[in-house]
Structure 1
Amino acid sequence: MLEAFNVGLEVDAPPGSEQESVHLLREVSLRVPQGHLMAIVGPSGCGKTTLLKVIAGIQEQTEGDLKWEDRDLKEEEDLHPGELGYVPQFSVAHDLLTVEECIASSMALRTQLPGTDDFEPKLDHILNVTGLADLAERRVKVLSGGQKRRLGLALELVTNPCLLLCDEVTSGLDPKSETEITELLRVLARENKRRVVINVTHSLASLEAFDSVLVMYQGRLVYHGAPKLLTHYFTVEHAEEVYLRLTQRDAQEWHESWTKKRSYYEAMLFESKPAAEEAAQAETDPDAPHPLAPEELPSMMSQVFTLLHRRWTIFRRDRGQVGLHLAMLIGFPLLVVIFALDGIKPLKQLNQRQETDIVYEMQRQAQHQFDQLQAGGIVSGLIMLQVVLVTLMASNNAAREIAGERLILEREKLGGLSTLAYLISKVLFLGVFVLAQSVWMGVFVDMVVGGLPGDLMVKLMLLVLASAAMTSICLGISALSRTPEKATILSIYLVGFQLPLSGAVLTLPDWLEGAVNPFIAAFWAWSGSLRSMSDTAFYDAVKKVTDTSLVSPELAAFVLLAHVVIGLSMTYVGSKGSQWE
C-alpha cells in the first residue's frame, strides 16, 4: 500500500517575489491499495506532477511522511530502481532506434536478463501486453503520439515494477487512443495484484475506468474517492464541471471540507476487499501471485557496453552527423594545407662573413630576415590553424552530446543507470573521434607540406591533448546546460576565443597573458608544438613573429591534461545532478 501523511513541499520563491518561499504541496494525505489504478486530476499548476515526482523520489518532501508497504521512503531505504516505474510526459526513447531495440536496451541497462533464456520471452511479453508487437521493427521517430506513450510504458515494464507512475501519458491523444492507453493502464494494474498504477491527467472524460480519482487544487488534496462519487461530492452534474466548481471556493476551504469527509470516501475504496482480507488470501491461496523480488541491476561495465553499443547504432543511422564528421575529417586538413601549397622552404644560416660591398651586405641581411619572418609566420600559422580546427571539431563532437539526450538520461538514472558508467561510455565514444581527427590532421598536413619542423610525435601528442581538452570541457558544458542550444552556443564562444586569446595573432599585455593563458587550450598546444622546434633553425624564425612566451611540450601536456580532468569532473557533476523539466 502507498500512504502519504501530511506531505508538503516548500521551495524558494522566484527572484523578485515578495515571498521568501512557495508551498507547492500542503498537507497531502492519502492511501492507495495494491492492485489499484488511480488518476490524479486538477487544473494546470495545481501540483499533480509535483506530487508524482515526490512519490517517485525525484523531489523530496519538506514535510510529512511517505510510505510504501510500511517502509518510510524518507527515513529508510528508497525504493529499489526495479520496484519503481516512472513514465514522464516527454519521450524517453531515441528517435533512430526501433521499438524492439529501445526495449532491449532498457532491459540491458536495468536487468541481468540479456544472455539468459528469459530474455526473449520477457521481451515478447512486453511487446504483446503493450500492443507494440506489430511495431517492433519500426523506428521511434515515425511512431504516433499514442504509440510513443505505449513505448514509454513498455520501457518501464522491463523490471515488472510494483509502483508505476505515469505523467500525462494520455494528454494530447484522440479519444480512441486515450481510451486504449487508459485500458492498458487498467490491465497493468490488474495483472500484478501487488502493483499500484497512478496516472496524472487533465482529462475528466474517462475517469470511470479508474478505481479512484484524486483531485488536486492549488497544491492541496481536495478529493480522493471513487469516480462515481466525484460529481456527488462536488455537487455537479458532469465531471467536466469540477474544475469550474473548484474556482468558487478557496483551496483551504476545499481542503478543510475534504478533511472532514475523507474517512467516509476512502473507506469505500477498501470496502470491496479490505487490505487484511487480501493479505490473508495471498497467504492461503496457492494460485495467488506472490511478490517478486526486484530485478537486480547489471554491472557497471555491462551498462557501459550497452550505452556504447546504443550510441554507435544511433551515430551510424544519423546520415547528417556521419556526413558532417567525414566532411570535417577530410575538409579541415585540406584547408590547412592550402596555406602551405608551396611548402616550407629550408632556412639557411646567415653567413657570418661580412661582405665588403655594404649595399650587397644590407640586401643579403634583409633577405635573410625576410625569409625568417616568412618561414616563422607560416610555421606558426599552420600549427595554430591545426589546433583551432581540431578544437572546433571537438566542440562539434561534444556540445550536444549530453544536453541533447538529457531527459532520457534523467529517466535512466532513476531506473538505476550509474553516472560513472554513463561518463565512461561517453569518453570511449568521443575518444575515437579525438584520436581520428587530431592524428589524421597532424599526419596529413605533415605529409603534404613535406614535414613540419620539430618532432612529429610531440606535435601529434599535443594535438590529441588539445582535442581531448576541448572535448572534455564542451562535454562538461553539455552536462551542465539545460538545452542543447545553450550548450552549442557556449561551446562555440569557447572555441571562438581560442585564436584571439592564444597570443598567436596579437600579443596580449603581460599582465593579462598570465591570467588568460591557463584557460586557453589552443595556446598550450600551439606554444608547446613551437617549442618542440627549439633544436631547428625554424625556432629563431618563429620567435621573430611572436613575442608570446613559449612553453615546453611537457608543461603544455600537463596543463592540457588538467583541462581534461576539469572537463570530465564538470561532466560527472553535471550528469549526476538532476535536471528534470
Structure 2
Amino acid sequence: MLDVLNLSHLPAKTKSSAEPVLQGVSLAVPPGHVLGIVGAAGSGKSTLIRLLAGLELPATGTIRFQGHDTAVVPVHPNQIALVASTDEGLSEVLTVRESLMSAHFLRVGGQTNDARTDRVSHLLVGVGLEMVAAHRVSTLNLAQRRRLKLALALVSDAPLVLCDEFADGLDVKSAQELTALLKWVVSDLPGRIVIHASQTLGNLASYDSVVVLHEGHVCFHGPARAVPHYFSITTVEELYPRLAKRPADRWGESWSRHRVQYYEAFKLGDLGEPAEEKARAQPGAEGDDDGTENVAAPEPEAPKPASKAEVDYSSALPLPSFMAQTLHLVRRRWTLWRRAQREWLEYLAMLLVGPLVAMLLMAPNTGYMSEMRNQNHLPEVLWPAAYTCAMILWVQVLLFMVVSLRLAAREIAAERVLFERERIAGLRGLAYLVAKLGFLTPLVIAQGLALVLLTDLMGGHLPGNDGIRVVLLVLSGVAFGSLCLAISAWSRHVDRAQASAWKLWAANVLLAGAILGFPRPAGFVLQPFITAYYGWSGSVDTLSGSAVFEPMTHFVRTWFATPLTAVIALVAHSVIGIVLAGWGLKKRR
C-alpha cells in the first residue's frame, strides 16, 4: 500500500553539494500496519514524514501510495492525515466537540448534520475524549491535546495516518497510552497504515514494525523484537550508543544488503529489487568486517490471517465547496471573537474612544466652527475654522488606520499554525482569505460610521457630504487593513507582524504630513504609495464650495484628490494588499 524507493532529500536553502538529510531511504509498509520510525534528533524522521505527506519534494526517489507514484498522481488531501509535532494550532476557546465539528465541516463535503455528529461522537469515544467533549480546548492537559490532534486528523477517514512525535515529551504512562492508541486507529479502518516518528525507544513493542533512522540512513526495518538481535545489543536502550560507533553510511550499506532477507522473513513486502540484488541479500551473504550487527537470518514470522485490506480507497471523501468552507470560517471566526472577551472589549473601546480623542484634540477650535456655521466669514474666524476642518479629517483618518492595524495585523500571523494544519487537510487559501475579509470588513464599516457620526454629534460637524466622507474613511480602513493583512500573511510571528504594521502606519503619518508642504512634483511621486493621503485629501475635497475650502488651498501646498480619484486609489491599495496576502498564504511556514 505504501512503498518508498531510494528516497533522498537535500536541506532547504543549501548548495546542491550539501549532504542530504535523507539518503537512499527504501521501505515498504503493508496495509493494516503500525510503523514506528525511531531515531535521535536530526536523524531525518520529521523530514521523512513531511515527504510522505507531500509537504516537500524529494531530490530523488519515488513514493508509491495505493500503487500510484505520488509525483504523478497527487494524493487527495482526505487520503492523508497528518498529526504534526507542534502542540499549537488549536482553537483554544472552542470546545473539543466544536473543534472536531469544525474540522469535519472544512474537510468533508456532502454530509448531513446527523452524519457529522455521528462521526465526531465515534472519534470522541475512540480517542478517549468523550468525557471532556464539552470542555474548552484551553482546559485540556497535554496528553488530552495530543488525543484531540489525532482526532482532528482522523475526521476524513484517511487510509494513511502520519504522526510526528505524537507521544514524545509526555510522562511514561501517557506515552504508553497514546502509542497503544495507534492500534485502535489502524483497527478503525481496514487496511489503514499508521506511521509514527519518535525519539522514544520505550514503546517499540506497540508497533508492528520499526524503522531505525540514523543521520538520514535506514539502518533497520523489522519487528521490535529483532532490533537487539540485529544490532547485537541486550536492550533497546543501547541502540543509540551502538549507532554512534559506526558511520551512518556504513549502517545504511549493511542494511541494504540484508533488507530483502528480513523483509521475506517478516512478510513486510517487496520493494521490487532486481534479481541480482535479491541474490546478494540471501542468507550467507558477506557480513560487515567489524561484526557490529548480527546478519544471521531471523526466525520467520508466522503467517498472518487474511487481511481486510482488499478495500478500494482510491476514492476519497469529497472536499467541501469553496463557499461552504468560506461561510464556515466566517461563522467560526465570529464565534472565536465573541468568546475572546479581550478582543471585543478592545474593539468597543476603540469604537468609543476614537471620536472622543478626535474631539479633545480639536476642542479649543470648535468655537470657530460654530461661528462659521452662523455665516461669520471674517478672516480671524475662517482661517482657524479651515485649519480645524483639515485637522479633524486628518485625525479621523489616522485613528481609523490604527483601528484597522489592530484588527488586521495579527489576524493571520496568530493563526498561522492552525491555517497550515487545515491547508494540509484541504482548506483552500482563497476561502481562508475571503473569510478573513468577511470578518474584518463589517468591523471596519462600523468603526467608520461611529467615527464620523459621533464626531459630528460631539460638536465637530463639518460642511460638505458626510456620506462621501464615510465611504472614503471606510475605504481608507479597508485599504490599510488589507496591507496589514498582507504583512500578517508574510510574518512568522504576531509580534513581527504588528511591528511591521506600525512601521507602515508611521511611514503614512510622516510622508502624508510632509506632502502637505511638498512641491507638487514631489507629491506626484510619493502620493500613489500613501494610503492616508487619499483618505484625507479626498475628504477635504468634499468641502469644496464651502467657505473653509479656499483658505485650505493656501496653507496646504499639495493638490487635493477628488473623491473619485481617492476611491480608485484606495481600491487599488486594497487589491494590492489582498493579492499580497494571498501570495503570503501560499508560502509555507
**TM-score, structure 2 as length reference:** 0.90
Greater mean alpha carbon deviation, residues 206-215 or residues 21-30: 21-30
User: Could you tell me whether the CA contact under 8 Å between 2:520 and 2:558 is conserved in 1?
Assistant: no
SS at match of 1:159: coil
Q: How far off its partner does 1:350 sit?
A: 11
Aligned mates of 1:314, 1:12 — CA distance in 2 = 36
Give per-residue Cα distances to partners, 1:255-298, cap 9 Å, x unaligned.
111111111222233165879x846x766xxxxx6758421111
Q: 1:315 is matched with which residue: 333, 337, 343?
A: 337
Q: 2:167 is matched with which residue: 151, 166, 170?
A: 170
Indicate yes or no: 2:4 matched with 1:7: no
Q: 1:80 is matched with which residue: 70, 76, 81?
A: 76
Matched residues, number: 553
**One-letter identity of the residue aligned with 1:85:** A
Structure 1 residues 38-437: aligned runs within 5 Å: 38-75=35-72, 77-90=73-86, 91-112=88-109, 114-270=111-267, 272=301, 278=306, 291=313, 293-341=315-363, 342-343=366-367, 344-347=369-372, 368-437=378-447
SS at match of 1:197: strand
Match of 1:363 in 2: none
Q: How far off its partner does 1:507 sit?
A: 2.1
Q: How far off its partner does 1:466 sit?
A: 0.2
> Per the alignment, do residues 78 and 269 of structure 1 end up closer, same or farther by CA in structure 2, a change over 3 Å counting?
farther
Q: How far off its partner does 1:577 sit?
A: 2.4
Greater mean alpha carbon deviation, residues 54-63 or residues 567-576: 567-576
Aligned mates of 2:303, 2:457 — CA distance in 1 = 82
Q: How far off its partner does 1:237 sit?
A: 1.8
> Per the alignment, do residues 398 and 274 of structure 1 end up closer, same or farther by CA in structure 2, a change over 3 Å counting?
farther
Indicate yes or no: 2:462 matched with 1:452: yes
> Per the alignment, do residues 329 and 570 of structure 1 end up closer, same or farther by CA in structure 2, a change over 3 Å counting?
same
Aligned mates of 1:293, 1:133 — CA distance in 2 = 30
Give per-residue Cα distances to partners, 1:80-112, cap 9 Å, x unaligned.
111110000123320111000000001111113
Aligned mates of 1:398, 1:274 — CA distance in 2 = 60
Q: How far off its partner does 1:510 sit?
A: 5.0
> Per the alignment, do residues 528 and 3 of structure 1 end up closer, same or farther by CA in structure 2, a change over 3 Å counting?
same
Aligned mates of 2:514, 2:356 — CA distance in 1 = 21
User: Could you tell me whether the CA contact under 8 Å between 1:7 and 1:29 is conserved in 2?
Assistant: yes
Unmatched tracts of structure 2, length 5 or more: 268-299
> Per the alignment, do residues 436 and 13 of structure 1 end up closer, same or farther by CA in structure 2, a change over 3 Å counting?
closer
Aligned mates of 2:118, 2:421 — CA distance in 1 = 25
Match of 2:277 in 1: none
Q: How far off its partner does 1:378 sit?
A: 1.1
SS at match of 2:85: coil
Aligned mates of 2:386, 2:554 — CA distance in 1 = 7
User: Could you tell me whether the CA contact under 8 Å between 2:213 and 2:219 is conserved in 1?
Assistant: yes
Match of 1:355 in 2: none
User: Could you tell me whether the CA contact under 8 Å between 1:400 and 1:484 is conserved in 2?
Assistant: yes
User: Could you tell me whether the CA contact under 8 Å between 1:315 and 1:321 is conserved in 2?
Assistant: yes
User: Could you tell me whether the CA contact under 8 Å between 1:84 and 1:162 is conserved in 2?
Assistant: yes
User: Could you tell me whether the CA contact under 8 Å between 2:34 and 2:194 is conserved in 1?
Assistant: yes
SS at match of 1:569: helix
Q: How far off its partner does 1:418 sit?
A: 1.3
SS at match of 1:548: coil
> Per the alignment, do residues 95 and 184 of structure 1 end up closer, same or farther by CA in structure 2, a change over 3 Å counting?
same
Unmatched tracts of structure 1, length 5 or more: 284-288, 352-366
**One-letter identity of the residue aligned with 1:476:** A
Q: How far off its partner does 1:494 sit?
A: 1.0
Aligned mates of 2:140, 2:432 — CA distance in 1 = 27
Match of 2:274 in 1: none
Greater mean alpha carbon deviation, residues 125-134 or residues 41-50: 41-50
Aligned mates of 1:22, 1:514 — CA distance in 2 = 53
Aligned mates of 2:552, 2:514 — CA distance in 1 = 10
Indicate yes or no: 2:531 matched with 1:521: yes
Indicate yes or no: 2:468 matched with 1:472: no
Indicate yes or no: 2:581 matched with 1:571: yes
SS at match of 1:222: strand
**One-letter identity of the residue aligned with 1:241:** E
Greater mean alpha carbon deviation, residues 31-40 or residues 256-265: 256-265
User: Could you tell me whether the CA contact under 8 Å between 2:383 and 2:551 is conserved in 1?
Assistant: yes
> Per the alignment, do residues 109 and 80 of structure 1 end up closer, same or farther by CA in structure 2, a change over 3 Å counting?
same
User: Could you tell me whether the CA contact under 8 Å between 1:85 and 1:156 is conserved in 2?
Assistant: yes
SS at match of 2:502: helix
Q: How far off its partner does 1:247 sit?
A: 1.6
Aligned mates of 1:290, 1:230 — CA distance in 2 = 34
**One-letter identity of the residue aligned with 1:578:** R
Aligned mates of 1:165, 1:349 — CA distance in 2 = 75
**One-letter identity of the residue aligned with 1:300:** F
SS at match of 1:3: strand
**One-letter identity of the residue aligned with 2:316:** P
> Per the alignment, do residues 350 and 78 of structure 1 end up closer, same or farther by CA in structure 2, a change over 3 Å counting?
closer
User: Could you tell me whether the CA contact under 8 Å between 2:519 and 2:558 is conserved in 1?
Assistant: no
CA RMSD of aligned residues (A): 2.2
Match of 2:492 in 1: 482
Aligned mates of 1:550, 1:24 — CA distance in 2 = 59
Q: How far off its partner does 1:513 sit?
A: 2.9
User: Could you tell me whether the CA contact under 8 Å between 1:376 and 1:544 is conserved in 2?
Assistant: no
Give per-residue Cα distances to partners, 1:190-211, cap 9 Å, x unaligned.
3323110001111111111111
Q: How far off its partner does 1:314 sit?
A: 0.7
Match of 2:23 in 1: 26
Aligned mates of 2:436, 2:475 — CA distance in 1 = 17
Q: How far off its partner does 1:119 sit?
A: 2.2
**TM-score, structure 1 as length reference:** 0.91
Aligned mates of 1:207, 1:188 — CA distance in 2 = 17
**One-letter identity of the residue aligned with 1:181:** L
**One-letter identity of the residue aligned with 1:154:** A
Aligned mates of 1:507, 1:220 — CA distance in 2 = 67
- Percent of pairs with identical residues: 34
Q: How far off its partner does 1:223 sit?
A: 1.5
> Per the alignment, do residues 65 and 444 of structure 1 end up closer, same or farther by CA in structure 2, a change over 3 Å counting?
same
Aligned mates of 2:409, 2:241 — CA distance in 1 = 46
**One-letter identity of the residue aligned with 2:336:** I
